């Protein structure tokens, strides 16, 4: 079936089939080219989001020179707002764009979103003042959640029944690989040639992705019956809210420790700061492997995958808190933290697609809103226990509590679903 020559599906006038019939009309080569193009977009998103973390001092010294000269720590804290503003763009943009574009074909929507990425990152690279760059970072974050949501749905349809989660994991693999290659490279480029060069590099990545998506992703007509009201109906479904809550607190368990991995490595493990990039790469490797295996595992049981991923995350974060005084303990634990959080990604995304019914676009995009809420929640709670004088291992125990809360919310969600089914 996969050996058939693909038809020209880029013309909106063509009567393009949906579902299994649509899968059969796309050759194997084009299917994998499309998945690679979608993953490349995820790679660009990973670089633009996380490379900023490593460039905070460079951004502060260049955009806030007077404040940096007077108090570098305070200026760095102010520059950190650029990270928060990007996350705010993700939270706002994910449901808004996907709801308003309910009838737009997914390929066209992907192209528009990639165009916004190009513009937002280009403006981030060239605008002269802190306030303007902050606005550009907000714009850059707006298409983030919508892109992953729409790309996940496209990938799931390309893979066909029984392989939806694998399609989702392939899209998310771009984000996980970015943590291994893209983020260290983007940080190095920014520190060596100036932070603006990093955003120019990201602009180029998104421009190339736009061309690849235009060429490789098959055209599918938008749903003419879709409405903003139908898409927003996802917010009326308790199971959608429970899944988002599960993702927020569960992913928050990872961010509670990941945010403070640098002082954990230097102050607790006693390693030099030059070892931190190695720790981050190990985390990225674990996340990439976990994401791909998690996609396969989720296709064989979504609920089981959620419990295993959240439970494994809680245990690995606990191990990190107990063994991080040893370099071996630190490396082994951070590898498994990445592995299980990577496995949770496709499981949460697929669960949202299952419980959202006819509002899948909005629900799929909301996964990344939940992820960014988890980012803020975990970092905040981890910072609280550190500020209370409990040490740099204390966020690990916050992470255990959040991962456990994620499991409890998942179990409540399953119970509600069974009751509603009866």
**Residues 364, 353 contacting (CB under 8 angstroms):** yes
Helix, strand, coil fractions of the chain, as percent rounded to 5: 85, 0, 15
pLDDT attached to residue 22: 47
Distance CA 378, CA 253 (A): 6
pLDDT attached to residue 252: 87
Which residue intervals of 324-359 are DSSP H helices?
327-355
**Residues 255, 313 contacting (CB under 8 angstroms):** no
Q: Which two tokens stand for residue 349?
A: 């995304």
Q: Which residue matches tokens 């709670």?
A: 381
Q: Which two tokens stand for residue 366?
A: 């909301």
- pLDDT for residue 258 is more than 90: no
Q: What's the whole-number mean pLDDT along residues 242-268? A: 85
**Residue 219 DSSP code:** P
pLDDT digits (tens, 9 = 90+) for 342-356: 888 888 888 887 887
Neighbours of 135 (CB within 10 A): 17
Helix (H, G, I), strand (E, B) or coil at 117: helix
Q: Which two tokens stand for residue 202?
A: 């990201």
- Candidate ranges 11-20, 147-156, 312-321, 368-377; pick with highest mean pLDDT: 312-321
Among 21-30, 112-121, 384-393, which stretch is predicted with the lowest mean pLDDT? 21-30
332-335-341-347 Cα dihedral, nearest 10 degrees: -100
Helix (H, G, I), strand (E, B) or coil at 324: coil
122: CB partners within 8 A, 6+ apart:
199, 200, 203
Q: What's the whole-number mean pLDDT along residues 201-209? A: 96
Query: What's the pTM?
Result: 0.75
For the chain, domains (ranges, CATH) are 18-224 (1.20.1250.20), 227-422 (1.20.1250.20)
Whole-number average pLDDT of the chain? 82
Q: What's the whole-number mean pLDDT along residues 113-128? A: 95
* Share of residues in the chain with pLDDT > 90 (%): 30
**Under the phi-then-psi rule, with left for phi > 0, alpha for psi from -120 to 50, and beta for the rest, what region is 160?**
left
Q: How many residues does the chain have?
A: 422
Cα-flanking dihedrals φ and ψ of residue 386, to 5°?
Answer: -65, -45
Among 16-20, 192-196, 295-299, which stretch is predicted with the lowest mean pLDDT? 16-20
Q: What's the whole-number mean pLDDT along residues 2-14? A: 38
Distance CA 380, CA 403 (A): 15
């Amino acid at each position: 079936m996969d050996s058939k020559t693909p038809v020209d599906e880029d013309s909106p006038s063509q009567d393009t089939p949906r579902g299994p019939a649509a899968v059969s009309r796309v050759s194997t080569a084009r299917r994998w080219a499309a998945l690679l193009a979608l993953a490349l977009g995820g790679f660009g998103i990973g670089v633009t989001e996380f490379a900023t973390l490593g460039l905070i001092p460079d951004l502060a010294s260049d955009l806030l020179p007077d404040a940096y000269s007077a108090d570098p720590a305070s200026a760095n804290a102010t520059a950190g707002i650029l990270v928060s503003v990007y996350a705010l763009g993700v939270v706002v943009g994910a449901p808004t764009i996907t709801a308003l574009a309910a009838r737009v074909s997914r390929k066209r929507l992907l192209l528009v979103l990639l165009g916004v990425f190009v513009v937002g990152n280009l403006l981030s690279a060239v605008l002269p003042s802190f306030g303007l760059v902050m606005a550009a970072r907000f714009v850059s974050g707006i298409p983030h959640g919508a892109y992953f949501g729409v790309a996940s749905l496209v990938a799931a349809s390309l893979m066909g029944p029984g392989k939806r989660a694998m399609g989702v994991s392939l899209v998310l693999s771009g984000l996980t690989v970015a943590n291994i290659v893209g983020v260290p490279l983007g940080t190095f480029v920014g520190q060596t040639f100036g932070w603006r060069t990093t955003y120019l590099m990201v602009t180029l990545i998104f421009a190339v992705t736009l061309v690849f998506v235009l060429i490789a992703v098959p055209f599918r007509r938008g749903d003419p019956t879709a409405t903003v009201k139908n898409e927003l109906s996802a917010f009326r479904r308790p199971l959608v809210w429970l899944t988002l809550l599960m993702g927020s607190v569960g992913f928050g368990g990872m961010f509670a420790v990941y945010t403070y991995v640098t002082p954990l490595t230097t102050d607790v493990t006693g390693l030099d700061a030059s070892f931190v990039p190695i720790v981050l790469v190990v985390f990225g490797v674990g996340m990439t492997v976990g994401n791909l295996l998690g996609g396969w595992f989720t296709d064989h049981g979504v609920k089981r995958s959620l419990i295993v991923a959240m439970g494994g995350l809680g245990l690995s974060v606990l191990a990190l808190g107990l063994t991080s005084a040893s370099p071996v303990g630190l490396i082994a634990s951070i590898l498994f933290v990445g592995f299980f959080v990577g496995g949770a990604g496709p499981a949460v995304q697929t669960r949202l697609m299952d419980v959202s019914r006819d509002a899948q676009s909005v629900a799929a995009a909301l996964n990344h809103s939940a992820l960014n809420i988890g980012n803020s929640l975990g970092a905040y709670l981890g910072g609280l226990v550190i500020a209370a004088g409990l040490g740099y291992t204390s966020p690990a125990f916050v992470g255990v509590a959040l991962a456990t809360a994620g499991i409890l919310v998942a179990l409540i969600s399953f119970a509600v679903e069974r009751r509603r089914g009866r």
